[in-house]
Structure formats: C-alpha cells, structure tokens
A = this chain, B = another copy of it.
Amino acid sequence: MATLIDGKNLAKRLNEMTAQRVEKLRTSHDIVPGLVVIIVGADQASQRYVRNKHRTAQKLGINSTIKELSSDVSQEELLTLIRQFNDDKTVNGILVQDPLPNQIDEKLVTKTIAPEKDVDGFHPENVGKLYLNDNSNYPVACTPKGIMTMFSEYNIDLMGKDVVMIGRSAIVGKPMAALMLNAGASVTIVHRHSKDVASYTKNADVIVSATGHLHTVTADDVKPGAVVIDVGQNMNEDGHLVGDVDFDDVEPKASFITPVPGGVGPMTIATLMQQTVDLTEWSLLRE
C-alpha cells in the first residue's frame, strides 16, 4: 500500500501560506501582488482554467486581471499589450494562456514577457537559469515546482536516486528533469521516440509521467517501492478524469503515489499563486 500524496490538502496549506504573505505585503509595504492572465479566443477548457486561476487569486488577496482578446487579434497587438504590462508597476506576474491561434508565434510571446514577470517560468532566460542551477531568484514552471514541493513535504529525497521523466515538454518534462538533476538525481528523459521506456522505469526509484496518454505506467513498469508522480489529465472510457498511470494497478506496488484528480493538478495553481507572490517580493529586493 502506497502513501497517497494528497495534492489537494497540500495545495490548501500552500494557499494559506500564500494568503498570509499577500497580507503581509499589504500591511507592511502597502503592495498588492498583481497577476494578469491574457486569454486569446474562447476555447472552453482555457476559459475554465483561467476562471479557476482568477478565483483562486482573488481568494488569496492577489489582484487578478483577466484580459480577453478575440481569436483574430494580431501578433503585434498582443505583443504591445504584453509590453504595456511589462512596464506596469502594479503587475507582478503575466501569463498568456495556452493554446494560441495560428497567427500568433507562441515562442515570441514567451520571450516578450519580461523575465522578472514570467510567472509561468517559460522565458528562455529563466529556463536557462534553471538548467544551469543558477542560485539567484527566478521563476520556474509551476507544475514541476509544485511536484518538488510535494517531494519536500513527503521527505522524498532525490539525491543519488534513479529517476525517469516520461515526456520532454517545455512545460513539464524538461523543467522537471532539470529540477531533479539539480537535486542530485540520475535523470533519464524518455519520450515518444524512446525504444523501451519500461527498461528505464522498471529500475527507477522515482517515475514522473507527463504524456497525456492512458496506461503509460502499469504495475509491470514499476519497481516495488517506487515513487510514482502522475501529471496526466486524461478522460477514460467512462468519461472520468484519470492520469497517465493505471492507479489501481500501480498503487499496491508503489511507496508513494499521486492520485488524479487531487494530486499534481491542485499544486499547479497553488504554485502559480505562490510564484506571483515570489515575483512581487523579488521586485521589492531589486528596488
């Protein structure tokens, strides 16, 4: 029987700490952290994510603004808006919600957000600092950062461990691999072109899956006592939200496991809030 990593509860406690930090910034510095979320077009899932972030931010005392742009907005209009927010002292974090319409160059959008307001941690300069294990203050992609908080809270030490990251996306796989490498793990990144993912996972102390595919990790793929982190958010045949991992199958073999829902998901938004406040505090340090 694995210990369940309770992301929902951990996110709740993280949010409480974030709310206290917001309150302290307000009372001692007369500052309210400002988060701007830009959404282009009316993709339903995106709208729901953005509303979730907005509601959580408001609950924690963060000044959250949603900026809705029509799906035919030009690239230059979007970049101009981002530059305005870069220059706006009341804005500490800027986030552009995925996905973006075809006329927009997503990488250019990411690079246009000021690195010190890049609350998603996607700017190349911030990614580079992470990969180099730079010891200054910089934002990190929220899902991986939230998973590191889980490791820390459950006293899962990565030093010298054999870990496998399944997936090499810019949002999860790559930053997660960098964080685990920086924490002293031997890190393998596998992906759609890998010959034999199981040959790695079968020997791994820690497995993080972020493929978006059902049944990516089954009991046969896991060594007894492994830590299994499930970043997947998939619909199963019955229309239920499930992860990449066959939970019922894997859970008896694992030492720690995250459920879906209630695992990594809640930690992502809570980390976004935490990082909005981080950025605000760091901006004070620069003054």
Contact = CB atoms under 8 A, between A and B. Distances in A.
A215 interface: no
A168 interface: yes
Contacts of A21: none
A135 B107 CA distance: 9
B191 A186 contact: yes
Contacts of A135: 107
Interface string A117-141: 0000001111111111011100000
Contacts of A128: 123-131
Oligomeric state, in number of copies?
A: 2
A200 interface: yes
Interface string A176-199: 001001001111111101111101
Contacts of A168: 181
Contact of A134 (B124, B159, B188, B197): B124
A190 B200 contact: no
Given A131-B131, A200-B186, A160 B125 contact: no
Given A125-B125, A127-B131, A128-B125, A189 B193 contact: no
A203 interface: yes
A170 interface: yes
Contacts of A197: 186
A251 interface: no
A8 interface: no
A180 to B, nearest CB: 10
B186 A189 contact: yes
Given A131-B131, A203-B199, A194 B124 contact: no
A132 B168 CA distance: 9
B186 A181 contact: no
A223 interface: no
A213 interface: no
Given A194-B160, A203-B199, A131 B186 contact: no
A162 interface: yes
Nearest to A138: B124
A129 to B, nearest CB: 5
Nearest 10 A/B pairs, CB to CB = A128-B128, A124-B128, A127-B128, A188-B188, A186-B194, A125-B125, A160-B193, A184-B193, A124-B129, A186-B190
Interface of A: 107, 123-132, 134-136, 159-162, 168, 170, 174, 178, 181, 184-191, 193-197, 199-200, 203
